[in-house]
Amino acid sequence: MLYPAVLVPIGLLLFCVALWRSTTVSRAAVVTAAVSGVLISIPVPIHSIRLAGGVLGLLAGAWLAFVVRSELARSPD
C-alpha cells in the first residue's frame, strides 16, 4: 500500500511537470512548488526542512492561484 506521504509528492511533481509544459504559469512558481514537494517528502528528523517546504508550498500555491485567477479575469467569456 502506498501511503499519502509517498503519493502526494509524486502527484505534486507530476502536476509541476504539467504546469512547466504549459505557458500560462510562471516557471519560477512551478519550480517553487516542485521544491516544496521535495522538501516535504524528505524523510529526515529535522522538522525545519519540512517546515520550509510547507512555507514554500503555501507561497507557491498562493502564487499559482493568483496567476490562474488573473488569467481567467483576462480571458473573454
| In the chain, where the domains are located | 4-74
- Tens digit of pLDDT for each residue in 17-73? 998 998 888 889 999 999 998 888 888 888 888 889 899 999 999 999 998 898 888
Cβ atoms < 10 Å from Cβ of 32: 19
Confidence at residue 77, expressed as pLDDT on a 0 to 100 scale = 66
Q: Tell me how far apart the alpha carbons of residues 72 and 67 are, in angstroms, rounded to a whole number.
A: 9
pTM exceeding the 0.75 threshold for the entire prediction: yes
pLDDT in the model for residue 8: 82
**Between 42 and 5, the higher pLDDT residue:** 42
Q: Which amino acid is at 10?
A: I
3-state secondary structure 9-61: HHHHHHHHHHHHHCCCCCHHHHHHHHHHHHHHHCCCCCHHHHHHHHHHHHHHH
Whole-number Å distance between alpha carbons of 5 and 68: 27
